[in-house]
Chain A
């Protein structure tokens, strides 16, 4: 993590980001950096503005103020599909898989840009996803909407990985899942990072997120109130009380 220590060339640099819904500001000028190869966790309670932040990064909602620099380029206001083509992919809150397409078709839909031109690349990435989530392999012909919640989350992550990209934004991948499945998903996220994709993870489950994260930001009602490594977080009494329970 020497890049972070040197404060050099962040892959994603956000400064003074402001997002508002009507007159109410949901994000009130936050700044953060994500460096290549990291898993960065953004923690916060319900309504803190985690989803809003990710949606702003990929232009799903519009940004009022601030700077979003990705790979050295200001991407604020760029259309969503162009941002994903540039290499920022987003696994949205609530999974949002395509319910009446099969698992296989869901994956192909995400590869529509290159599937015909580069079959090998598609098969490569699909195999990669299938190896990460063997359950998907067994269910290629099953309709997305009939998968269990956990399997849908796997499909949503898999679909994003098929798109390719340098950084993966994940919005509460552990939401509504049984503890053992949460473990499994987090293990996979770690693997994805080890294989070279940078990850920005948004989570309420602070315990789990801190297990795998290299760096954390704490978001409270639209402000970043704390940032540091997981070790620093665990050493902070206020943080432990507020987010780690007991």
Chain B
């Protein structure tokens, strides 16, 4: 079925704009408590994080655990740049860009093992990478070793977060609709066969890793300027697992799914905070239940616009059966 949907991009961007408008009203008219506002910012920045993970783990179909390392790189690079070079608040875009670019550089390097290694081996390599980054930071005096960096300017606010999210969505969409993006499905299925139909597998992987790391780096930069501090302990196993949970929860290879996954998981862990350690039991249990009943995550690889399309179709079917049968024969 080849149906034309020119408004595809708009279909996913418009909800973000609506949400942004609501956020502005909520914040400017002080209709929301500070703690809720903080959760909203977590949701936004982790959505960017999850979009980044989805590039590699979802669209490219590689089980990577490098996201903690990418986030740490972006966060630290951004924090250092704002402490020593970009001290003014109007320089925040440069700080974010710097964090993203440093992470992207590292992402480019991390794409190299994916040319040859695969499956479990690649998972171990990327895990090793994340752990190396963490222990490197733990031992590097200049960035405070295990104490981390403190007194970072708190430049992040809700507008920056959602502005970046919009930007992230556009980047991901652009990539998915590029010729490399369109060949990802084939690469996921059979790498050699895709090369035989002239897909440049290495280039597609390199770009996917670079974009992924760039987005994750930006989410790290936002996080460190939201909290005002960072330390290596934030980029260990918990971060790795958190990232995977949000991606699988929302759906692999879906922009809507990334945002939904980040939203649900952030609300869950933030509201369960007063349960102490027990929140992991409740959260983990819920996760098991969801994954048993929704094996592909909430959105699978579908988008919001697909859902709207399906609903429209459902209603038009009840009106006329004729148009549907015409459409399916196309």
Contact = CB atoms under 8 A, between A and B. Distances in A.
- The finding on whether chains A and B are genuine partners in a shared complex, rather than unrelated, reads yes
Given A112-B179, A113-B179, A98 B193 contact: yes
A81 B189 contact: no
Contacts of A92: 192-193, 196
B199 interface: yes
A215 B183 CA distance: 37
A104 interface: yes
Contact of B197 (A99, A116, A141, A159): A159
A52 interface: no
A102 to B, nearest CB: 9
Nearest to B192: A60
B329 to A, nearest CB: 10
A109 interface: yes
A11 to B, nearest CB: 18
Contact of B185 (A96, A105, A163): A105
Given A81-B201, A112-B179, A116-B179, A160 B196 contact: yes
A81 B190 contact: no
Contact of A100 (B189, B196, B198, B201): B189
Q: Of B179, B189, B192, B202, which is in contact with the most chain A CB atoms at under 10 Å from its CB?
A: B189
Contacts of A159: 197
A13 B1 CA distance: 43
Interface string B126-164: 000000000000000000000000000000000000000
Contacts of A163: 197-198
Contacts of A109: 182-183, 185-186, 194, 197, 199
Contacts of B189: 98-101
Contacts of B186: 98, 101, 109, 112
A104 B2 contact: yes
B193 A81 contact: no
Given A105-B185, A112-B179, A112-B183, A80 B190 contact: no
A85 interface: yes
Interface string B173-186: 00000010011011
Interface string A105-132: 1001110110110000000000000000
Contacts of A104: 2
Contacts of B182: 108-109, 112, 115
Contact of A81 (B1, B2, B185, B200): B200
Contacts of B200: 79, 81
A193 to B, nearest CB: 20
A80 B183 CA distance: 15
Given A81-B200, A104-B2, A116-B179, A97 B193 contact: yes
Contacts of B197: 84, 89, 109-110, 112, 159-160, 162-163
A81 B179 contact: no
A100 B190 CA distance: 10
A50 interface: no
A81 B199 CA distance: 6
B185 A80 contact: no
A213 B193 CA distance: 26
Given A109-B183, A112-B183, A81 B198 contact: yes
A198 interface: no
A28 interface: no
Contacts of A99: 189
A89 to B, nearest CB: 7
Interface in A131-169: 141, 159-160, 162-163
Nearest to B200: A81
B6 to A, nearest CB: 14
Contacts of A36: none
Contacts of A80: 192, 195-196
Interface in B187-229: 189-190, 192-202
A81 B196 CA distance: 6
A90 interface: yes
Contacts of A101: 185-186, 189
Contact of A141 (B1, B192, B193, B196): B1
B195 A84 contact: yes
A96 B193 CA distance: 6
A85 B196 CA distance: 9
Q: Of B179, B182, B193, B197, which is in contact with the most chain A CB atoms at under 10 Å from its CB?
A: B197
B193 A84 contact: no
A162 B185 CA distance: 17
Nearest to A116: B179
A112 B199 contact: yes
A99 B193 CA distance: 11
Interface of B: 1-2, 179, 182-183, 185-186, 189-190, 192-202
11 contacts: A60-B196, A80-B196, A84-B196, A89-B196, A96-B190, A97-B193, A98-B186, A98-B189, A109-B194, A110-B198, A159-B197
Given A80-B196, A92-B192, 13 more contacts: A79-B195, A79-B200, A81-B199, A84-B198, A96-B190, A108-B182, A109-B183, A109-B186, A109-B194, A112-B198, A112-B199, A115-B182, A160-B197
